[in-house]
Each structure stands twice: as structure tokens, then as C-alpha cells.
């Protein structure tokens, strides 16, 4: 049976961030993830995790100026030093939070940078991050993101991401895995079941949302009952991050929408 983690960036948004941990625990979640912890003290986040008996399964490396629309800088050749400083910052947080894996966002390719230069920059940055995280026993992940939601995002399809993983492995860094977001994959390529079967040895984490509105499972076209059963049969033992927008965006909307869990034969 799948293990679900509440994505506290997307869910329980009627609460301030640090109060979402309690809300997630009260709703029945035993694990959480979020995009970024860096606006808060690591000790404050750790206190909320401990107080509510929650396991942290994932957060991202620093990704540039998110509020200004940046979505990662790992493919930006002019910002290699900033990316690598961000890796060290992330490791400081991980030392407090016990983060087991972190996601590196490739980012939107700058208009004046060729694909070849962007890819070479990304490979170098991922090798650096993979090596640094490996020293602490932390997995590095990389996530393809659809270009309908984020036009120009450099890594946007599973085969492209797997080729990058293979190249980093061939550079001597085996500590890079795929973060497979079912919603992004459906938007870009479909073939979810076949892709999961093929890519599972390289997948470190899975996230979900339904398509087209990025709401709860069961609100769109993706057959999540089949996918959950498939992942069980394939032996996936990691968490699945609930990175969706509640269909009811008002106060209490996250809890009101959790009926999808039982409807798909699952529990939190």
C-alpha cells in the first residue's frame, strides 16, 4: 500500500507554514515534504516535526529567486557558484532536519545559453551536489517538469532526465535519482505505467496530482487506482508526495478533499 506524504507547500494553505505540520498530523499524515525550508530556522521546523511525530521525506535545494519567477538555477552557467553555495546551505538544514533526499531543479534555460552549454552546466552541478550529498548519506533527485506550467523548463521529459542521470553516473557519481511527478509526466508524455516499469530502478521519489487541474486524485483523467496497484506490484517502497492543489481552495479544503484516499483503497 502506498505511503503518502503531505506536501506542505501545496496543502493546508489556510495555515501559516509552521502550523501546517499540526494540520497534516491531525488529518492523518505521518510524513511530509515541502519545496523550501530556507525562510525559517531549521530548529523551528524540526520542533514541529518532532512535536507531531512526522517524518520529513523531501525538500528542494535552493532554486534562485522563486518569488520573482525563477524555478531553479542548476542549468545557468553564470550562477554555478550560487548553486553550489545553495547545496552547502541545504546540507546545513539537512543536518538538523534529517532530510533523507533533496531535489535539484534544473531551471528555465536562459535565452542566451545554448542547449549544449546548459546541459554541460547541469551535469557539472549535479555531480557536485550528488557527491556532497553522498558524503552525508542523502540522495540527490532531479525532477522533469512540464513546459505548459513552466515554459522553458530545461528538463521536461523522463527519457531526457534518465539520460542525464546516466551521464552523471558515468562521471563517477551514482547518487543521482529521478523524482517522478505523475502530473508533470502525464502532461508531457503519458505512458505512465510503462514508464514506471522501465524507470523504477532510477526513481527515488514519486509525487502526484491529477490532470488537467492539478487537483486531488479522482478529479481528472489519471487512473490512480491502477497506478497505486502497479507500484505495489513493482515493489516501490518510497513515499508518494501529495503535491496537488485542493479542489476546494477555501479553509478546510485540504481535509474536505481527502476522501480520495479511501476511494482509491488506501489509507494515510
pLDDT one-digit tens code per residue, 6-43: 999 999 999 999 999 999 999 999 999 999 999 999 99
The catalytic site residues sit at: 143, 243
Q: DSSP assignment of the chain, as one string? A: --EEEEETTTS-TTS-GGGHHHHHHHHT-SEEE-S--TTS-HHHHHHHHHHTTPEEEEEEPP-S-GGGT----TT-GGGHHHHHHHHHHHHHHHHHHT--EEEEP--BPPTTS-HHHHHHHHHHHHHHHHHHHHHTT-EEEE----TTTSTTBS--SHHHHHHHHHHHHHTT---EEEEEEHHHHHHHT--HHHHHHHHGGGEEEEEE--TTT--STTSSS--HHHHHHHHHHHT--SEEEE----SS-STTHHHHTTHHHHHTT---
pLDDT for the residue numbered 268 = 96
**Which parts of the chain have pLDDT scores under 50?**
none
pLDDT for the residue numbered 212 = 97
pLDDT for the residue numbered 115 = 98
Domains of the chain with CATH codes: 3-263 (3.20.20.150)
Q: Could you report the per-residue pLDDT of 168-188, keeping only the tens digit for each?
A: 999 999 999 999 999 999 999
pTM above 0.95, yes or no: yes
pLDDT for the residue numbered 1 = 85
Amino acid at each position: 500500500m502506498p505511503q503518502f506524504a503531505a506536501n506542505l507547500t501545496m496543502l493546508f494553505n489556510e495555515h501559516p507554514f509552521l502550523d501546517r505540520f499540526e494540520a497534516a498530523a491531525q488529518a492523518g499524515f505521518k510524513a511530509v515534504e515541502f519545496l523550501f525550508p530556507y525562510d525559517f530556522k531549521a530548529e523551528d521546523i524540526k520542533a514541529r516535526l518532532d512535536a507531531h511525530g512526522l517524518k520529513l521525506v523531501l525538500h528542494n535545494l535552493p532554486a534562485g529567486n522563486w518569488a520573482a519567477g525563477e524555478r531553479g538555477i542548476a542549468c545557468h552557467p553564470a550562477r554555478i557558484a550560487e548553486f553550489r553555495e545553495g547545496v552547502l546551505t541545504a546540507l546545513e538544514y539537512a543536518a538538523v532536519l534529517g532530510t533523507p533526499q533533496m531535489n535539484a531543479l534544473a531551471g528555465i534555460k536562459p535565452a542566451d545559453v545554448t542547449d549544449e552549454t546548459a546541459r554541460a552546466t547541469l551535469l557539472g552541478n549535479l555531480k557536485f551536489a550528488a557527491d556532497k550529498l553522498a558524503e552525508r548519506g542523502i540522495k540527490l533527485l532531479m525532477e522533469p517538469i512540464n513546459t505548459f506550467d513552466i515554459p522553458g523548463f530545461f528538463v521536461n521529459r523522463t527519457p531526457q532526465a534518465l539520460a542525464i542521470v546516466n551521464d552523471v553516473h558515468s562521471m563517477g557519481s551514482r547518487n543521482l535519482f529521478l523524482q517522478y511527478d505523475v502530473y508533470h509526466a502525464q502532461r508531457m508524455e503519458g505512458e505512465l505505467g510503462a514508464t514506471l516499469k522501465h524507470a523504477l530502478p532510477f526513481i527515488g521519489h514519486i509525487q502526484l496530482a491529477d490532470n488537467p487541474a492539478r487537483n486531488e486524485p479522482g478529479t481528472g483523467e489519471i487512473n490512480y487506482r491502477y497506478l497505486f496497484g502497479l507500484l505495489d506490484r513493482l515493489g516501490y517502497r518510497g513515499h508518494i508526495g501529495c503535491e496537488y492543489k485542493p479542489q476546494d481552495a477555501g479553509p478546510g479544503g485540504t481535509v474536505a478533499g481527502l476522501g480520495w484516499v479511501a476511494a482509491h483503497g488506501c489509507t494515510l
